Amino acid sequence: MTPIRLCHLYPDQLNIYADRGNIAVFRSRAERRGYELEVVGIGVGETLAPECDLIYLGGGQDREQALIAPDLARRGSEISRALEDGAALLAVCGGYQLLGRGYRDRFDFEMPGAGVLPLETVAGEGRLIGDVSIECELDPGEMLTVVGFENHGGRTLLDRGAVPFGRVVHGFGNDGESGFEGCRLGKAIGTYLHGPLLPRNPWLADWLLGQALARTLGEPPELEALDDELEYQAHAVALRRARERGGKLR
């Protein structure tokens, strides 16, 4: 079976939103189908592992983001080259913000960004918190619902013509006004949804694994169906909470 190499950027700093749960889902869903998932942690000053199939960045508070921002900004071209070579990417919350051109925090401190995604982020008044549901279309003609939890003070603004990950049905999304959530650039997805994200949306984990495998196989393979009864129960609970409670500005 084709191995999958996952490069986990800054696992010691960007790890506050159950990000290890997302990695565990990638591993479980790959190994249950006979694929080996090799996870390589990449810290400050370290080079992105060669032949990277999937890149992951998690969330962090402003202090942790400030610690890694200069290093991430320096490796923007490195990440872009990996994407051009066929790697897939998932970035959550703080990692998502810093893949844009930068983030200005509530003290007007400018953190440099990697410039990989067409967006920038500034701190807003109050935090956007609550359960979220969005609709997205990663494959043409197939509209799917993604659920998660958001908790962010940043307001992310997409460039004109940039493609959002999805459109908000319940919750705030990027800025509480545009109706957009996250950003999509080919195989790269940035999003504010955590909690963690993938246990409640197993189809998204499979889409990313398929895109990662396509780097060496040429196209995404037909992945064997798994028993996802518990995952879809979790999805249904999160969707109900998003409908009933929505988000709150705090």
Instruction: Judge whether 180 and 133 are in contact, CB under 8 Å.
Output: no
Structure tokens of 232? 């879809």
Per-residue pLDDT of 125-176, as tens digits, reads: 899 999 999 999 998 888 999 999 999 999 999 999 999 999 999 999 999 9
Instruction: Judge whether 189 and 146 are in contact, CB under 8 Å.
Output: no
Q: What is the mean pLDDT of residues 215-227?
A: 95
Q: What is the mean pLDDT of residues 21-42?
A: 95
Give the lowest-confidence range in 24-28, 59-63, 117-121.
59-63
Instruction: Judge whether 193 and 182 are in contact, CB under 8 Å.
Output: yes
Residue whose C-alpha is closest to residue 177's, from 249, 91, 116, 250:
249
Instruction: Judge whether 82 and 74 are in contact, CB under 8 Å.
Output: no
Question: Can you point out the beta strands (E) in 75-118?
Answer: 88-92, 102-104, 110-112
For domain 4-249, give the CATH number.
3.40.50.880
**Which residues does 74 contact at the CB level (< 8 Å), separation at least 6?**
none
Q: Where in the chain are the domains?
A: 4-249
- Confidence band for 48, pLDDT divided at 50, 70 and 90: confident
Coarse DSSP helix, strand, coil percentages of the chain, rounded to the nearest 5 percent: 30, 30, 40
Q: What is the mean pLDDT of residues 201-205?
A: 96
- Confidence band for 20, pLDDT divided at 50, 70 and 90: confident
Distances (CA, A) of 152 to 19, 119, 121, 206: 16, 16, 11, 26
CA distance 56 to 214: 17
8 carries an active-site annotation: no
175 or 19, greater pLDDT: 175
Per-residue pLDDT of 61-81, as tens digits, reads: 878 888 899 999 999 999 999
Q: What would the DSSP string read from start to end of 160-227?
A: TTPBPSEEEEES-TTTSSS-EESEEETTEEEES-BSSSGGG-HHHHHHHHHHHHHHHHSS---PPP--
**pLDDT score recorded for residue 16:** 80
194 carries an active-site annotation: yes
Distances (CA, A) of 138 to 9, 55, 57, 189: 24, 18, 20, 10
Per-residue pLDDT of 83-109, as tens digits, reads: 999 999 999 999 999 999 999 988 888
Does residue 210 carry a pLDDT above 90?
Answer: yes
DSSP assignment letter at 228? -
| Given 152, 170, 194, 235, the catalytic residue | 194
| Given 93, 152, 183, 235, the catalytic residue | 93
- Confidence band for 49, pLDDT divided at 50, 70 and 90: confident
Structure tokens of 82? 């990996």
